[in-house]
A and B are shown apart, each in its own frame.
Chain A
Amino acid sequence: MTGFFDIPSDLQHSWTGLIGLHMREALLPVAAGLLLALPIAQLCGRFRWLYPPVLGMTTVLYAVPSLAFFVVLIDYTGQTELTVMIPLALYSLVVLVPAIVDGVRSVPDETLAAATAMGFGPVRRYLQVQLPIAAPAIIAGLRVATASSISLVSVGALIGNQGALGNLLAAAQKYDRPELAVNAVVTMAVLAILCDVLLVGLRMLLTPWMPRGGTRPKPAARRAEITPEGAVR
């Protein structure tokens, strides 16, 4: 009963079950964030005046502690996964919107002019030129969003067993079993790194056109990776 993988029964899940739950609670919001961020970023790209206020708002949102979000949401969505996932989706949004906007903006003017001159309409130009070229920046954003999402799910433990692997942390305290906390931290870190590796692989798959090795990625991609709050620049 004190082993590394002996999960207390009140968590209702085996270790692998917790992992599955954790990934779902962490990744669905990122996916939702991406789906939301694309049109928002598109709007920000279209109407340049929109970008600064959107950035400002998202930064304030980002500063609101996750726990406060969870607590306020309990009344609307109850003690459910949704309560955890909604704030995480919002945080992902905060990271992804600037990443996409910057990525799309990083497309060289010449390339855009060439596309326009060839008779690309705005939609086709966005889908076939801007978005693919912005892919590295978007994936860089996804990497940050995914890592932070995986980490933040654990805070859900505070609102009653909604933290997946994070519940192990609460259990570690309740039953004074540090090994459970170690288990939680290490598992989450490994999951985050695995996701990161997968995303890097995805980028390589999507961008055979990027110079490999030695050559550094485009500044926009880099930027998204280094300033997660992306915002306020």
Chain B
Amino acid sequence: SSSGDTSDNPLDGEKAEAGTVVVGSNNFAESTLLADIYGEALRAKGLKVGYKHNIGSRETTYGLMKNGSITVLPEYNGSLLAYLDPEAGQESAEAVNEAVKAKLDKSLTLLESSPAEDKDSVSVNAETAEKYGLTAESTLADLKDIAPEMVIGGSPEFQTRQQGLKGLETVYGLKFKSFKALDAGGPLTQAALTKNEVQAADVFTTDPTIVKEKFVVLKDPENLFGFANVTPLVSKEGLPQEGVEALNAVSAKLDTETLLDLDAQVQLEKKDPLDVAKAWLKSAGLD
């Protein structure tokens, strides 16, 4: 199931090869999965597809989108807006998408959002939840008094993002004891939470370990983490119309439940994301 066949050598060269759609992904498993889904959907439409996986954080990938190195990137609409305009409010998914489009680089645009949503969230581990009596109904505001006793973890970029420490402080007035740089909701984060090295951490809401490890996701009444609908960010030039249609078709079929299931297949059952993507496309009749 290895996949040397998926492209020539996408690592070569800076600009995408003419006529090739380069699908990028950030360095967490779900991003890889989504990129594979998009890529395979495009390929099914007869487009030439290349991948640039595991690039890093949005801070990096957005730059690569702008300069045309990547054509398609799975994004989360609200998170992207928070990156582009940390001050912007987020009332509805549509409004968010409009706001994003307004702020986007001229060469880029957002396609249709899918119902599937995967937000950043602040979750606490079971131990902490018990200690402070936090439940599924608790909100971020409830942390106000106990935050100074807590270490919060998250990807390094969480430290400086609006949808991160900054927003938690400005919106909820939370000041944590310290921040521990982990990974983007990956194994480091899980391990740090379960070992109680951090008491709270940035966990993606679709993360299958939330259930497994009994993490408690805190509610976000102020909508700091806003909307996070899976939305393809694409380069206007690079993607032909049939590609746009193919991706919109994918978005239409992808909901949160499906995403949770696919994530679990990759992260818990350890299936290859590409296989999972292909299988789902097939089952959804998109191949």
Contact = CB atoms under 8 A, between A and B. Distances in A.
Nearest to A158: B56
Interface in A116-162: 157, 159-162
Given A9-B1, A10-B273, A14-B4, A173 B56 contact: no
A107 B266 CA distance: 61
Contacts of A157: 54
B27 A175 contact: no
B272 to A, nearest CB: 5
Interface stretch (A54-62, A76-84, A92-100): A76-84
A8 B273 contact: yes
Contact of A10 (B4, B13, B274): B274
Given A173-B186, A175-B29, A9 B272 contact: yes
- Secondary structure dominating the interface of B: loop
A79 B36 CA distance: 20
Instruction: Among A7, A14, A79, find the residue whose CB has the most chain B CB atoms closer than 10 A.
Output: A79
Interface in B58-91: 60, 64, 69
B187 A12 contact: no
Contact of B4 (A5, A17, A80, A174): A17
A12 B11 contact: yes
A109 B135 CA distance: 82
A177 interface: yes
Contacts of A26: none
Contact of A79 (B28, B51, B69, B275): B69
B229 interface: no
Interface in A1-50: 1-2, 5-15, 17, 21
Contacts of B112: none
A221 interface: no
A173 B188 contact: yes
Contacts of A160: 27, 52-56, 60
A11 to B, nearest CB: 7
17 contacts: A1-B1, A1-B270, A1-B271, A9-B1, A9-B36, A10-B51, A10-B53, A12-B51, A12-B53, A13-B2, A13-B4, A14-B4, A17-B4, A21-B11, A173-B183, A174-B32, A175-B29
Interface of A: 1-2, 5-15, 17, 21, 74, 78-81, 157, 159-162, 167, 170-171, 173-177
Interface of B: 1-4, 6-7, 9-14, 25, 27-29, 32, 35-36, 51-56, 60, 64, 69, 183, 186-188, 266-267, 270-275
10 nearest A-B pairs in the assembled complex, by CB-CB distance: A9-B274, A9-B3, A10-B53, A160-B55, A14-B4, A7-B2, A78-B14, A10-B32, A14-B2, A17-B4
